[in-house]
C-alpha cells in the first residue's frame, strides 16, 4: 500500500468547536476525497476482519461509507444502524447519550439472524455511547458480536470502557 496509516491519519482535519463549542471534530472527508488513501484504508480495515464474520453493522452516517467499501471488498452484507424515522419496516431501537446530545438508533428487526457473526464499524469512537447502543441492537437481534473497528479513537473520552466486546482502532488521539 502506498498509503500508510500515518499518511492516512495526516489527512484527517481537526476542526475546533464544531458542531458545538468545545468539540474538536475529526473530519474524515479528506480521506474519502483521495482515491488511493480511501482504497488503502479499505484494505487495512478488510485485513482486520475475521474470516468467520457474516455481516458488518454500519453506524450512520460515516460508518456506512467505510462499512460499504469493506463489505464490497470482502463480499459481505452490511446492516444499517440508523437514526429514527429512516428505516421503513419494523425496528428495534435504543436510546443513548452522545458527546454532543442525546440520540436514538434503530435497526430493522430482520437485519440480523441468531447465526450472524457481526463486526461493528464506525469512523470515530468518542464517548462510546453510540457504539454501545449498537451492541444492544445486535444483542437484541440474537447475533454474535465479534467486536468493533474504528478508524479513530479519542482516548481521553474513554469510550472503550462503555463497550462489552473487543475494540480496535487504527488511530488514537
Ligand atoms: P460517541 O457516541 O460519543 O462515541 O460518538 C460517536 C459518534 O459520533 C460517531 O458516529 C462519530 O462519527 C461521531 N462523533 C463523536 N464525536 C466526534 C468527533 N469529535 N469528531 C467526529 N465525529 C464524532
Radius of gyration for the chain, computed over Cα atoms and rounded to the nearest angstrom: 15
CA 131 to chain centre: 7
Check whether the bond before 46 is cis (ω within 30° of 0): no
Q: Whose CA is nearest to atom 18 of ligand 1?
A: 25
- How do 77-81 and 55-59 pair as beta strands? parallel
Residue to probe by mutation, ligand 1, list 98, 99, 125, 163, most atoms within 8 Å of CB = 99
Q: Verify whether ligand 1 is closer than 6 Å to residue 18 (CB atom).
A: no
List, for residues 100-155, the tens digit of each pLDDT value.
Answer: 568 999 999 999 999 999 999 999 999 999 999 999 999 999 999 999 999 999 99
Q: How far is the CA of 158 from the centre of ligand 1 (A)?
A: 12
List, for residues 88-110, the tens digit of each pLDDT value.
Answer: 999 999 998 765 568 999 999 99
List, for residues 36-82, the tens digit of each pLDDT value.
Answer: 999 999 999 999 999 999 999 999 999 999 999 999 999 999 999 99
End-to-end CA distance of the chain: 23
Rounded Cα distance between 129 and 122, Å, is 12
pTM over 0.75: yes
Amino acid at each position: 500500500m502506498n498509503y500508510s496509516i500515518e499518511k492516512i491519519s495526516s489527512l484527517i482535519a481537526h476542526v475546533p468547536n464544531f458542531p458545538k463549542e468545545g468539540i474538536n471534530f475529526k473530519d474524515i472527508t479528506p480521506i474519502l476525497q483521495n482515491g488511493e488513501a480511501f482504497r488503502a484504508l479499505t484494505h487495512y480495515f478488510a485485513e482486520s476482519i475475521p474470516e468467520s464474520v457474516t455481516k458488518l453493522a454500519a453506524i450512520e452516517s460515516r460508518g456506512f461509507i467505510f462499512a460499504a467499501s469493506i463489505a464490497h471488498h470482502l463480499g459481505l452484507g452490511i446492516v444499517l444502524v440508523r437514526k429514527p424515522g429512516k428505516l421503513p419496516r419494523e425496528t428495534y431501537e435504543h436510546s443513548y447519550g452522545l458527546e454532543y446530545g442525546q440520540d436514538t438508533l434503530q435497526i430493522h428487526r430482520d437485519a440480523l439472524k441468531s447465526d450472524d457473526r457481526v463486526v461493528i464499524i464506525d469512523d470515530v469512537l468518542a464517548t462510546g455511547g453510540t457504539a454501545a447502543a449498537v451492541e444492544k441492537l445486535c444483542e437484541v437481534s440474537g447475533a454474535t458480536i465479534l467486536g468493533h473497528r474504528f478508524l479513530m479513537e479519542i482516548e481521553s473520552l474513554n469510550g472503550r470502557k462503555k463497550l462489552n466486546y473487543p475494540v480496535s482502532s487504527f488511530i488514537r488521539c
